[in-house]
Structures are given as C-alpha cells and as structure tokens.
Amino acid sequence: MLSAERRQAIAQLIQELGAVQVADLSTRFRVSASTIRRDLEMLEREGLACRTYGGAIAVEDRSDVARPLADTEKERIGRAAASLVAAGETIFLGPGTTTMAVARHLPQTNLTVITNALDIASFLSTHSTVVVIVTGGQVQRPASALIGHVSEQALRELRADKVILGVGGISIPDGLTGESLPAVTTMRAALDIAPQVIVVADHHKFGRVATALLAPVDRADIIVTSREADPSIVWDLTELGIKVIQV
C-alpha cells in the first residue's frame, strides 16, 4: 500500500471510530509505529485529525479547521481565557476542544499545568516548556480524558491558582452540566483544588442542559464566551455575581 493510500485509510478510520491508537494502526497496516506517527502528523497538518498521546481523534468541527485559528469562536475564547493566566501560576486545564484552544494560547514558559486531558498534555509537552502534571486514570474515548478514582485521588493531592473547564451546558436553573457522568464526577474533584473557577464555552452552550450535573451555575467565578451568547442569559449570570467575558 502506498503512503497516500495508507493515510487516506487511516483518515477514514478516524472518522468512523472517532479515535485510533498508534499500536493498533501499526499492526493493521504492517508498518512501524514511527511511520504511523508521521502519518498522523501529516493528517493533523491537513486538518483531518487531532493527535493525542498514543494516537489521534477525529476533528469535531471541520468548518473551524478550514479557517485560520484566529477566526474561530473557540480560538477567540481560548485566547481570552489564556490572557487571564499570570506567569508563575499553576492552573488545572480540563479536557475539551475549547480548553485545547486555551492551551494553544498559554504562555510557553514559567507556568505549571495540571490536566486530565492526554491531548492537552501532549500538545504542551511538544510546543512549550511549561511544567505538565498529568493526573492519571482511566482513558475515556474519544476525548482522551483521564477519569475515575485514580484521577480524582491525584486531584485531591494537588492545588492550583485557577481551574479552567469546558462544559456541555450552562443554565441558570439547571447549573453547569456535562455529557458524561463519570467525566463530570472527576471534574467535581477538580473544582476544589483552586480558589478561582473559569468556565470556557461557546455560545451554543448557553441555555443548554446536558445529562450530568457538574455544579450550580454560580460555582463559576468567570465565564469566557463569545459575543454571540444569548444576552438575556449573560445578564442573568452577571446578576448572580459571575463575571462574563465576551469576545
């Protein structure tokens, strides 16, 4: 099989399965792990995959990939949230595409990042010199989030200046919610390790209620979102004393 054909087949698998592992692809295509890693690097450059530790996951929003990073809603949110982080701080950064956008805009030195997201840990380890602490735990696919008792126990032993999280929904009566109960349970442990909680969310999350309750909405000190967010919900959040930053 030619290299181009193999990469096309890998891209198809990523779209069908949501996530792939280097070891599995190496066995499937009978090539070395280093060859598969180069294939995944090229697919990532082409916007066809997002590399993670030991593999790759599907790109969630292809329309965002097609545009320059600076033009996307999540990149604007990520840049604004990263600007709230001061040199020398320790932060916790949760899993998700919007928190990955935060990671892309963090200072590249003089920072400690705790995370339970393998893709964020891999990105920061490759593209910066910040200290990266990974919680450990069971891998939840396709998000490559580390969840469960091991992750929660590690978080109880750690402290940070800020917690930065993505959520599945933001609702005044129903609170901050997520898509997965096991993942939300782990995120609850993260809420307790820092005095300030920053939620990053695109405008689609406003008024939405996902499956699992994370916390009451006023558990967030700051919410960073886009200017497209529902103004009535933004107003209600500010009335609760939550700082809402729109970009």
* Cα end-to-end distance, the chain, whole Å: 47
227 located within any domain: yes
What CATH number did the domain enclosing 232 receive?
3.40.50.1360
Domain boundary among 59, 83, 102: 59
Question: Is residue 17 domain-shared with residue 95, that is, in the same domain?
Answer: no
Question: Is residue 15 domain-shared with residue 104, that is, in the same domain?
Answer: no
User: Rounded CA gap, 132 and 114, in Å?
Assistant: 6
3-state secondary structure 90-128: EEEECCCHHHHHHHHHCCCCCCEEEECEHHHHHHHHHHC
176 located within any domain: yes
- What are the pLDDT digits (tens) for 36-74? 999 998 888 878 888 877 788 887 544 444 344 444 889
Question: Is residue 47 domain-shared with residue 85, that is, in the same domain?
Answer: no
Show the domain range for 25.
3-59
pTM here is: 0.73
Q: Is the pLDDT of residue 198 over 90?
A: yes
- What are the pLDDT digits (tens) for 17-43? 777 888 889 998 999 999 999 999 888
Q: Which is more confidently placed, 65 or 211? A: 211
User: Rounded CA gap, 51 and 32, in Å?
Assistant: 17
User: Rounded CA gap, 207 and 228, in Å?
Assistant: 13
Question: Is residue 78 domain-shared with residue 120, that is, in the same domain?
Answer: yes
User: Rounded CA gap, 33 and 123, in Å?
Assistant: 19
Calculate mean pLDDT across residues 127-154: 92
The per-residue pLDDT for 63 is 41
64 located within any domain: no
Query: Max alpha carbon distance in the chain (Å)?
Result: 61
